[in-house]
Structure 1
Amino acid sequence: MFRRLPNHLPKDPTFPTDLEGLGYFINDKDQIRQIANPDQKYQFKINRNDRVNDVYKEAMNTCARQIVLKRLRDLGLEEVRLPLGSTETDKHVPILVSPDVASKKHVIVFFPERHTDMGVLSYRVMGDEGINIGSIVNFVQCIMKGPPPPSEVTADGGSDTNPKWALAAEFLVGRPGIVIANPSQLIWYRGGGRAVTDREWLCMPRESAVHEPMRIDEARNRVEGNKNFEEHVQYIFEHVLSSEDGDQPLCDPRAKIFVIGQEYPGSAALQYMVNNWMGWRDRIRCVALINPQHSLEGLFSTFDMNAPGDVAEREQATDFIARRTRAYRLSHKPLETVMSGRTRLGCNVYSSGETLYEESVFVRCWPSVLDWVDVCRYSVTFAEPVIDEVLSDEEDEKTEQEKPKTRSPRRPQTEEEQLTARFHGELKVTGEGAVAGA
């Protein structure tokens, strides 16, 4: 039997974490391209060894992530460590907040996916279409910049240009605060003194290229109160948006909250609100879900339907989900086309306009989401229209299987189009089943 001595094992690959060192640059379209061939995009497979390819990819992702975080800081976002009060050397999970979030009366809370780096929506889109488009840079910039308020607001809060809007003067003062949660970087890397994703953990340096990845110690490599995405969501609500232990929260405890959540963290946020409905019903103004993973019945699985209190809470929460919650999902249909799913999710479901990749759903639909959030900010009486199922789940699944195999053109595509594709007006359903501005 033969074996290789430790000093004869292949070395674990290493790569620089700057674009120039990797042979790439950012062109005038904000796309990452090869220096040797400016028309060539990122090349994943550079070796027959998967370990080499994975470490190389993580080095490229690190470069892109650093660029995104710098741009977000340039916009004014600040890093806050959780648990609150943690020092730089303590175990912590970083989140991003706007600098004046403590004084804001309206706060938008964004819960990203579990497996993407903070600030990144899709590395694929960042490479293909542009760094700002594939990240939350445009999204944050649009929140902070915002569309102009409706003109000619009347004394009673209405508007001559749109009298159906029940506008409150306080909604038109200033832009909302921002809290960017971080349900992905929940592993504490002691060697680097920072929180990392599970994917980055697998790409950490090893003794050799054939060694197993480092074992995760649940005591040493987990952050208190943020050991998984459910705990992280709960911590955001109980310590950032409010204070369950009497300490000063990061946000004004009276601020109105607008929740935007992707896949499981988004559904976990909705589940937390349902479980603690009496404490949050006066603060949550709306919820937008991207690729939701919940079911209406599952949300109330712990409720006792024989208890009058639980029955009343369920009715109130169900009504809120129906009126002030909406969902977006993968579909080849045009953006904001009504989809099936209201019966299962309890809210209206719309097409995102993204055909192929779930990670890109929010990239395509966030302008629509912010338009809807603005309507919910300006109007305390606005409610989602009750839309009958356009298709049964079986019919909808069949049409999805018959969708085109290639990505169809969609708008907005460019950074400028994304930032300007905002409308003002009351949402309504058109004859084709799409939602448009009145």
Structure 2
Amino acid sequence: MFRRKWSGLPKDPHFPVDMKELGYFINEDDEVRAIDNPNNYFKFFLNRNPRWNERQRFAMNMAIQGVIWERLEKLGMKKELLPLGTEDTTKPHVPIFVSKDIASASRVVVIFGETHQDLGVLAHRVIGGQGGVNKGSMVSIVSALQQQSCSSTDMSPPGIILANTAELIWWPEGTRTLARVAFDGVPMKSAVHNGNLITDANLVEGNENTMRHISYMFKHVIPHFVDDAATIDIIGVGDGADCVEKYLDLLTKQDEWKNRIKCLALVGGLVPAYELQNEEFVKVILRNRARAYATSTEPVGMVLSGPDGNPKTRTFTEQGCPVFSSGSDHYTELTLIMARDIVLDWLQEVAMTPEGEEYLNPEYHVTFADPFLDECESDWGEWPTEASAGGGEKNELREVKAQEAGVENEPKELGEDKAVAGQPRLILVERPKALRARNSSMEDGEGEN
């Protein structure tokens, strides 16, 4: 009888958490390049076995994060551990970054990133590719904020807090928390194990998930580090923006937060205003002191919609606040990178509102519409029946079979009426010939690759 022992399973691959040992360096353009060929960026597909690729990526991401954290600390950011008061780093804790002079700041910017990005990271596709480490990380955001002023009467830079909405899974062997994707890359008992099991031992008290972490930030972290008279600016990115918006929908029912939150930037968020429960939050904060920056093919800064939405664009705009193009056409993780200047400039505009006055979004009369929207067949409801839609897939299949058999289709197969300009109609030209060619090649023994 065949018997395989646990010791006979292939060992999990090991990669050093060191950029130089992995074969990479950071060039003068702040981009990660290969040592053996400086023209090459990071190579993910190192092996046909996906486990080898995942383990290398885990080591590389940890090495890059070490570089980012070092740069944040040089900018005056200090790493703090949650729950507050944690001193033993071998016990479960979640790291965040807080500016050293935050206690004296009259204005504080709190940033909630995406729930799958490592602390300090905006987009690895920029960090490990064209753009570089600073541009693809929070280093560029912190640097820009430090050039701003707290208010028209306080020219000192604002305080900054970087929340950690992703790295909430405790890894005992590494004495740190990880994001869900990163946790899949930690060492396993063998290279063929199904993954690492998450139990209660992998949870951090008070920060068990993203919503609890956001709650802990508002209930404990901000009151602990920030002066009670300081104003709060909030930036949310991607699904981190969705989570913080849903939490603020409940939090702003408390009077103490209504006036402290001066502005809310939802970068890549997608929460519909009609799903929110607090009418005052929607009509006061969202409408007057919030802006959304959406993925769009339009140039960065283009006004896509006012607070009531824009039915003439395919971009989702029913967010209860003015919606702008972020300049990123597809990737949510690039929204804050592309829209950094307009987002931070708006925060500064709100902060410079004269003392005693309340900032209000201007009235937007948006005439923007997607190009060629009226010419596109966007309303499929105009085709209520199979006949008016040209028969759909059934007629297409009948056409193919008929033409393969050498029988011409009767006009009624595509609809008894003649084609009318602007009316949809199925016309197959090349497909039967292609099918015959494919069938012929398969008969000759030339199968598909």
Higher relative contact order (CA 8 A, sep 6+): 1
Higher-Rg member (1/2): 2
Q: 2:222 aligns with which of 241, 250, 253?
A: 241
Moved more, 337-346 or 325-334: 337-346
SS at match of 2:187: coil
Counterpart CA distance in 2 for 1:365 and 1:136 is: 13
Q: Quick one: distance in 2 between partners of 1:169 and 1:125?
A: 35
Query: Whole-Å Cα distance in 1 between the matches of residues 306 and 326 of structure 2?
Result: 14
Q: 1:202 aligns with which of 184, 207, 210?
A: 184
Q: For residues 115-130 of structure 1, what are the structure 2 equivalents within 5 Å?
A: 115-128=116-129, 129-130=131-132
Provide the alpha-carbon RMSD of the alignment: 2.3
Indicate the percent of aligned positions where both proteins have the same amino acid. 37
Segments of structure 1 that go 5 or more residues without pairing to the other structure are 150-167, 243-248, 304-313, 402-438
Identify the match of residue 345 of structure 1 among 309, 319, 322.
319
Letter in 2 for 1:384: N
Query: What corresponds to 1:435 in structure 2?
Result: none
Asked if residue 211 in structure 1 is aligned to residue 193 in structure 2, the reply is yes
- Does the 8 Å contact 1:233/1:265 carry over to 2? no
Question: Which residue identity is paired with 1:18?
Answer: D
Aligned equivalents of 1:263 and 1:390: distance in 2? 26
CA distance in 2, matches of 1:182, 1:114: 8
* Partner of residue 103, structure 2: 102
1:3-402 maps to which residues of 2 (within 5 A)? 4-87=4-87, 88-128=89-129, 129-146=131-148, 169-170=152-153, 172-217=154-199, 219-242=200-223, 249-277=224-252, 278-300=255-277, 314-315=279-280, 317-340=282-305, 342-343=307-308, 344-379=318-353, 380-390=357-367
* Cα shift readout 1:119-138 (whole Å, capped 9, x = no counterpart): 11011101221110111111
2:400 is matched with: none
Distance in 1 (alpha carbons) for counterparts of 2:213 and 2:306: 28
- The amino acid that maps onto 2:176 is R
8 Å CA contact retained: 1:78, 1:96 = yes
Aligned-pair distance for 1:9? 1.4
Deviations 1:139-192 (A, max 9, x none): 101111337x9xxxxxxxxxxxxxxxxxx643x331110000000000111122
The CA deviation string for residues 388-432 of structure 1, in whole angstroms up to 9 with x for no partner, is 454579987999x9xxxxxxxxxxxxxxxxxxxxxxxxxxxxxxx
Q: Secondary structure at the match of 2:174?
A: coil
2-structure distance, mates of 1:254, 1:202: 43
CA distance in 1, matches of 2:82, 2:16: 29
Q: Which runs of 5+ in 2 are unaligned?
A: 309-317, 379-449
**Normalised by the size of structure 2, how large is the TM-score?**
0.76
Q: CA deviation at 1:357?
A: 1.8
Deviation at 1:20, TM superposition (A): 1.2
Over residues 234-261 of structure 1, what are the superposed CA-to-partner deviations in whole Å (9 max), with x where a residue is unaligned?
A: 111111122xxxxxx1211221000001
User: Does the 8 Å contact 1:13/1:52 carry over to 2?
Assistant: yes
Q: Verify the 8 A CA contact 2:276 2:282 in the aligned structure 1.
A: no
Q: Deviations over 1:280-308 (max 9, x none)?
A: 111000000111131112111xx5xxxxx
Distance change in 2, residues 1:354/1:316 (3 Å): closer
Kept in 1: contact 2:165–2:240 (CA 8 A):
yes
- What TM-score, normalized by structure 1, do the two folds share? 0.78
